[in-house]
Amino acid sequence: MTQIPITPTNDLEINASRQFIPWLHEQNLSLAFTTYQAGKIFFIGLQPDGQLSVFERTLDRCMGLYTQDSSLYISTLYQLWRFENALEPGQNHQGYDALYVPQVGYITGDLDIHDLVLQRELNNTQKLVFVNTLFSCLATVSETHSFIPLWQPPFISKLAAEDRCHMNGLALRDGKAKYVTVVSQSDVAEGWRDKRVDGGCVIDVENNEVILTGLSMPHSPRWYRDKLWLLNSGRGEFGYADLERGIFEPVAFCPGYQRGLAFHGDFAVVGISRPRHNKTFSGLPLDEQLQAKNAEPRCGLLVIDLRSGDVVHSLRLEGVVEELYDVAVLPGIRRPMAIGFRTDEIRRVITIGASEI
């Protein structure tokens, strides 16, 4: 496979498969992904000359991503941020057609926040809902506190900072928080660590019911085209839940530990990581799967054709970045960038809203 190397730093090399760049162009989109291991968010797009554009910013332990219209929500070590695209359609800033600027931040404390979404409320407003992994619950932000609990699994007996079941994934359905993934149904501090191989399940939040069991460290549930898709990460499987039969249907094998799932048209974009060599990631069925296929785990993005289940394009990361968490599709944007907190730029980027004078 022909590779196109991009090296933004001396410590990282990014290789695109031969048709990855034409795919970005044809689909008229760009991608964002987070790596909490390296504390970076990356934006992948196209330069004016058609070459790959790689832009990164430093955000401590950045994990969950959620996009809606011009907004980009990101969870970090102890904060939640909303970035806004400051450019109007057709505008350009230093060769970029999207400029994400931090506008609103919440101090949550270190809750080990994973997935986050915007939930539609009855009064036509929206509520930011996130997976509070440390307290094994869904929560929202507060003007006066670290968080407000919204829901916890039926098997969790107490709201405690003990990461009992390792809740990580959250999916919307019809605008409402509907499905979560947990690594186990344990109700003791870090009890999930003993149930990594087959203790994972999916819970219906609305009905307070476990609807799928026997998974291995599941992540990233997403409702798309009338199906509940998810990553059976401990086995390296991308697939969907057959809700009528209560079983998981694998669609594609991914050579790495999966976290992060987004969709566009007939394609899914999956994030894969090289598993850490510790008790959390060792001894999973993924190891046997890789060995059986004579493959080594990779870090990067895979583009899967939903019609065939084939991995048709990929982006591979080598070097300092070994683990990803989340991925987002930015439709209609060719080349995105963001303003961070570590340079003077943030002082000088000023936008003006509609005047009320």
The answer to whether residue 40 scores a pLDDT higher than 60 is: yes
Distance from CA of residue 338 to its chain's centroid? 18
What is the share, in percent, of the chain residues with pLDDT greater than 70? 96
Q: Rank 85-89, 303-307, 347-351 by mean pLDDT and report only the highest.
A: 303-307
What is the share, in percent, of the chain residues with pLDDT greater than 90? 89
What are 319's two structure tokens? Answer: 């070097």
Domain boundaries, the chain: 13-348
Work out the average pLDDT over 296-308: 97
Global pTM reads 0.94
Q: Which of 46, 40, 43 is nearest to 61 (CA)?
A: 40
Dihedral angle of Cα 163, 35, 270, 228, to the nearest 10 degrees = 30
For residue range 160-174, list pLDDT tens digits in order.
999 999 999 999 999
Q: Please, which pLDDT band fits residue 3 given cuts at 50, 70 and 90?
A: very low
pLDDT of residue 219: 98
CATH assignment of 13-348?
2.120.10.30
Which strands sit side by side in the sheet containing 71-75, from one edge to the other?
65-68, 71-75, 79-85, 98-107, 336-338
pLDDT of residue 343: 81
